Amino acid sequence: RICEHCVNETYSDTIGDAPCLDFEVCDPGTFVTVNGTASENRQCRQCPNGRFSSVEGMQECIPWQSCGIGFGLKPGGGGMFK
Strand partners, 45: 31
3-state helix vs strand vs coil in the chain, percent to 5:
0, 25, 75
81 — pLDDT class (breaks 50, 70, 90) = very low
For residue 82, pLDDT beyond 70? no
pLDDT digits (tens, 9 = 90+) for 31-78: 999 999 999 999 999 999 989 998 999 999 999 877 778 887 777 655
Q: What is the pLDDT of residue 80?
A: 46
Long-range contact set of residues 44-53: C-beta below 8 Å, sequence gap at least 24: 46/81, 46/82, 47/81, 47/82, 52/28, 52/79, 52/80, 52/81, 53/26, 53/28, 53/29, 53/79, 53/80
Whole-model pTM: value is: 0.73
Q: What is the pLDDT of residue 77?
A: 58
Q: What is the pLDDT of residue 69?
A: 83
Q: What is the pLDDT of residue 29?
A: 94
